[in-house]
Structure 1
Amino acid sequence: MTDTPTLRFLGAAGTVTGSRYLIDTGRLRVLVDCGLFQGYKQLRERNRQPFPVDPATIDAVLLTHAHLDHSGYLPALARDGFRGPVWCTSGTRELCGLLLPDSGRLLEEEAEFARRHGYSRHAQPRPLYTERDARDALGLLRDCDFDRTRELAPGIRASFRPAGHILGAAQITLEIDGVRVHFSGDLGRPDDALMRPPAPRPDCDVLVCESTYGDRAHAAVDPDRELSVAVRRVIARGGVVVVPAFAVGRAQSLLLHLARLRQRGELPAVPIFLNSPMAVDATALYHRHGGEHRLGEEECRRMYETAHFVHSVEESKALNRRSGPMIIISASGMATGGRVLHHIAAFGPDPRNAILLSGYQAGGTRGASLAAGAKTLRMFGRDVPIRAEVVQLQGYSAHADADELLAWMREGGSRPAVAYVTHGEPNASDTLRRRIQNELGWTCRVPEHLEQVRLDAQRPAASETAASPARSEGARHRTAPAARSRPA
């Protein structure tokens, strides 16, 4: 049992996936985010390793949002002994109800496909978790409204603020006996076409900030024109446009822009298919949570009606037997799994076709290989030739870039004693760290995987102002706190 509150980085340190942060106060263990590691094999293998602390000793989980790199390990955590509440916004809870069972189902299907076709090194490959595990975990989710404070234990409070990015996405502030630790979550963009901008950064003593685009600025492009030029070029040659897209957020943004192009007569009358049951259901959720995004009822309706929704596996397979021109939007966004792999396998070998990458492609994913110019992709135990045109769209990111992250920090509340830069590839995180130090004058670090830091050194003294540079970062520890029983 620890005598001082600590923060331990169980994921998203040195990588853009696997978001997991453990707060241990000695009285309470709280996990902020419970994400899957994705991308490189050595990262994915962390999902199979025992969780760094006994899941049964974690008292609560707080989710910033529903994307799998933030929520996707929750079914395994619950299966292995976690029984506490999972606090999140209602939008996140509803999206997790789509994402987590779908993830479990895909994991089961991939394991069974690998077993049947013999391309796993295991004779009986097993999924990380099952659809049943995911549905069981959903029973732990509890709503916490934006801009409300919830007491987790005496002296320990949590509050959720809008982060933009996707439906339900939140920034989370934990106040622990007077020390305020703020987690940015994934921050959206101030001028996003779909989502409202993130709420300002609140006063905090410790900041944990994402850095997905910490080493770059987004290109100043018109997303409507960028999409129109790429699509019209492929349609003119009778090709098929395949768009790998995250089912939550990116799919809806693409539908919005396609609807606008079609309404203005800038898009030829070709069929558009949304081939992701989860994306179909998520699009309906955006209708029910109108207060979180910028769209009026009429534009929301047009977005919903732009595409033909594909539900069944048979309909999905039938698309691969069609000829172009047509547009297929399908998950997953980084081509790590899902129905889009079958479309890439079907249409990727034909140079008349195109694959449009619409967002960040983490290292080690098939999407990153495509962006780097790969001529083959390994899928379903074989190498698929890629002769289709590959286009990396620049105007569709749902993440704030480096300049937008710095503006959010600079224009927010009081200066933190220390900022930790996480959730980014090494160069992105370190580049943002240098800019924070040089341009804002803050103490800033990029933590290491499994590193533990003390929070008691960040406690504001009565004689200090919030911006006092006298606060030290505190000693660092690299060992886990001792296991202990859950409090009564």
Structure 2
Amino acid sequence: MSATLTFLGATDTVTGSRYLIEADGTRLLVDCGLFQGYKLLRERNRRPFPVEPASIDAVVVTHAHLDHTGYLPALVRDGFRGRIHSTHGTAELSTLVLPDAGRLQEEEASHHRRHGTSRHDAPQPLYTEEDAHLALEHFAPHPFDEDVSIGGIRVRFVPAGHILGAAQLQITADARRVHFTGDLGRVDDPLMRPPRPLETTDVLVSESTYGDRRHPGEDPTAALGRIVRDVTGRGGVVILPAFAIGRAETLLLHLSRLGESGAIPEVPIFLNSPMAVDGSEIYARHPEEHRLPPDQFRAMYRLATLVRTVDESKLLNLRGGPAVIISASGMLEGGRVLHHIAAYGSDPANAIVLTGFQAGGTRGRALEQGERTLRIYGRDVPIRAQVHVLEMLSAHADAGQIVDWMRTAPQPPHAVYLTHGEPPASDALRIRIRRELGWTARVPELAQTVDLSASL
């Protein structure tokens, strides 16, 4: 019986990572993420899962971001009973990410019911915080480089950089080697170590988030410092929307270096994300995965006032500047940062700094493209604050870094499939791989199934 690979997500978007490998009577799901951004994509989360959850033998996940893990609570609630395999770092971070996602969905649904701001009579969360805790009971953590046997399929987790616990996956099914990049980190990331070079594989499934661009060459510390000096110098507030896991740590690192060098004034810096605060403790337990010595790591967190409670968060919206506020979510799709945008976004003395990829259909993408009115909790908020985009702060490899990483392979794979990219990015990377490496690369369609044996 041949092995097959079906693309259940991340084929026309950066989000919704989901792949199904079937071999030797085993069904293995690789990642189980949420679709984010455009309404058309988000509505996919509400549809029945394309494969009966109870029929899936196991799940393996590359890392803890919601576009790779965020549907797991619904999968378990709807009948999945197997194990969820991950690295130790991913399992630990998931204890923060998944319950937080369920709680935010419950809060958003409750808000819409109270204020009548949904077109649904009784809006419901996709899943609850309790669903998330039940899903966490299925996690089975593993160290990097350990072979994990799942029926007739073998899996190995390989460091990917990007965030703590992030892994590339080396999967062997029916004697075919399939390599998933997950989200590939950068060789020049200031926090995380670089991804391990590509080993020999038959089929490569690669992300292509930045497949059509190169990160700006400007020093991110200097760029951030210039904004902080300018805005706080006039008494303004700098709002840094940040993914609570990974990006918050990177921003604190840059700010601590700026403060130590005297490149920014002594102004209050607030980390308003309980998940990011808790995540710092997990990063501290895994020094082998990042570049920072313990003393620098501790100094980084002494820099900021850690905000945990809702009341403390509300007070930030009343205190004014000068100040710097780091808060989730990074694409302005939910969380406490929306309240800060609503409070400070209409004042031209302030600034909003976008620090990572903004998926199509998100408020972050709208701001990036010049929109200056955001719909937040049922009302239109005018944005007169400065908007800056610091793309060089992304934790994803850019097009050149992806191709350079591919060059490390001892021999070309027989087939490359490009996912996790919007169509222009995926297709640009496909062309570049063909021209520069001479490899066969394709951009798969949603629900497309390929015979891994036929790929050889």
User: Which TM-score tier does this pair reach, normalised by the shorter chain?
Assistant: over 0.9
Map 1:94-173 → 2, pairs under 5 A = 94-154=92-152, 156-173=153-170
1:274 equivalenced with 2:271 (yes/no): yes
Aligned pair partner of 1:225 in 197, 206, 222 = 222
For 2:344 and 2:146, the matched residues in 1 are separated by: 48
Aligned pair partner of 1:347 in 344, 347, 358 = 344
Contact 2:23 2:174 in 1 (8 A): no
1:71 equivalenced with 2:38 (yes/no): no
Q: Please name the residue that 1:447 is paired with.
A: 444
Q: Aligned letter for 2:79? A: G
Q: Aligned letter for 1:385? A: P
1:185 equivalenced with 2:182 (yes/no): yes
Map 1:284-299 → 2, pairs under 5 A = 284-299=281-296
Structure 2 counterpart SS, 1:33: strand
Q: Aligned residue pairs: how many?
A: 456
Q: Residue by residue, what CA displacement relative to the aligned partner does 1:421-465 show, whole Å, maximum 9, x if unpaired?
A: 00000000000001111111111100001111111224xxxxxxx
Percent identity over the alignment is: 62
Deviation at 1:26, TM superposition (A): 4.6
For 1:247 and 1:75, the matched residues in 2 are separated by: 19
For 1:39 and 1:347, the matched residues in 2 are separated by: 24
Map 1:308-327 → 2, pairs under 5 A = 308-327=305-324
Deviation at 1:305, TM superposition (A): 1.0
Contact 2:102 2:129 in 1 (8 A): yes
For 2:93 and 2:372, the matched residues in 1 are separated by: 35
Contact 1:19 1:69 in 2 (8 A): yes
Q: Residue by residue, what CA displacement relative to the aligned partner does 1:172-202 show, whole Å, maximum 9, x if unpaired?
A: 0110121000000000000110000000111
For 1:216 and 1:158, the matched residues in 2 are separated by: 32
Aligned pair partner of 1:62 in 53, 60, 63 = 60
Deviation at 1:375, TM superposition (A): 1.4
Q: Aligned letter for 1:184? A: T
Aligned pair partner of 1:203 in 177, 186, 200 = 200
Q: Please name the residue that 1:456 is paired with.
A: 453
Structure 2: gaps spanning 5 or more residues: none
For 1:217 and 1:339, the matched residues in 2 are separated by: 31
For 2:14 and 2:252, the matched residues in 1 are separated by: 26
Q: Aligned letter for 2:8? A: L
Structure 1 counterpart SS, 2:74: helix
| Alpha-carbon RMSD | 0.8
For 1:229 and 1:433, the matched residues in 2 are separated by: 37
Aligned pair partner of 1:306 in 303, 308, 318 = 303
Q: Please name the residue that 1:27 is paired with.
A: 25
TM-score norm. by structure 1 comes to 0.93
For 2:384 and 2:409, the matched residues in 1 are separated by: 47
Q: Please name the residue that 1:413 is paired with.
A: 410
For 1:176 and 1:83, the matched residues in 2 are separated by: 22
Q: Aligned letter for 2:7? A: F
Q: Aligned letter for 2:23? A: T
The range that moved more, 394-403 or 206-215, is: 394-403
Contact 2:187 2:193 in 1 (8 A): yes
For 2:98 and 2:391, the matched residues in 1 are separated by: 29
For 2:189 and 2:372, the matched residues in 1 are separated by: 33
Contact 2:54 2:79 in 1 (8 A): yes
Contact 2:18 2:30 in 1 (8 A): yes
Q: Please name the residue that 1:329 is paired with.
A: 326
Contact 1:271 1:307 in 2 (8 A): yes
Deviation at 1:395, TM superposition (A): 2.2
Contact 1:214 1:424 in 2 (8 A): yes
For 2:46 and 2:2, the matched residues in 1 are separated by: 30
Q: Please name the residue that 1:360 is paired with.
A: 357
Q: Please name the residue that 1:426 is paired with.
A: 423
For 1:30 and 1:152, the matched residues in 2 are separated by: 8
For 2:72 and 2:80, the matched residues in 1 are separated by: 9
Q: Please name the residue that 1:474 is paired with.
A: none
For 2:408 and 2:197, the matched residues in 1 are separated by: 7
Structure 2 counterpart SS, 1:360: coil
1:246 equivalenced with 2:243 (yes/no): yes
Q: Please name the residue that 1:49 is paired with.
A: 47
Contact 2:240 2:352 in 1 (8 A): yes
Aligned pair partner of 1:377 in 374, 377, 380 = 374
The range that moved more, 261-270 or 425-434, is: 261-270
1:435 equivalenced with 2:397 (yes/no): no
Structure 2 counterpart SS, 1:378: strand
Q: Aligned letter for 1:418? A: A
Contact 1:204 1:413 in 2 (8 A): no
Deviation at 1:259, TM superposition (A): 0.6
Contact 2:58 2:85 in 1 (8 A): yes
Q: Aligned letter for 2:233? A: A
For 2:351 and 2:122, the matched residues in 1 are separated by: 36
For 1:319 and 1:268, the matched residues in 2 are separated by: 19
For 2:396 and 2:301, the matched residues in 1 are separated by: 23
For 2:99 and 2:411, the matched residues in 1 are separated by: 40
Contact 2:16 2:34 in 1 (8 A): yes
For 2:232 and 2:177, the matched residues in 1 are separated by: 53
Structure 2 counterpart SS, 1:321: helix
Contact 2:24 2:174 in 1 (8 A): no
Structure 1 counterpart SS, 2:352: strand
Q: Residue by residue, what CA displacement relative to the aligned partner does 1:118-161 show, whole Å, maximum 9, x if unpaired?
A: 0111111000000000000000001111111111124x210010
1:215 equivalenced with 2:183 (yes/no): no
Structure 1: gaps spanning 5 or more residues: 459-470, 472-488
1:389 equivalenced with 2:386 (yes/no): yes
The range that moved more, 214-223 or 145-154, is: 145-154
Structure 2 counterpart SS, 1:337: coil
For 2:252 and 2:317, the matched residues in 1 are separated by: 21
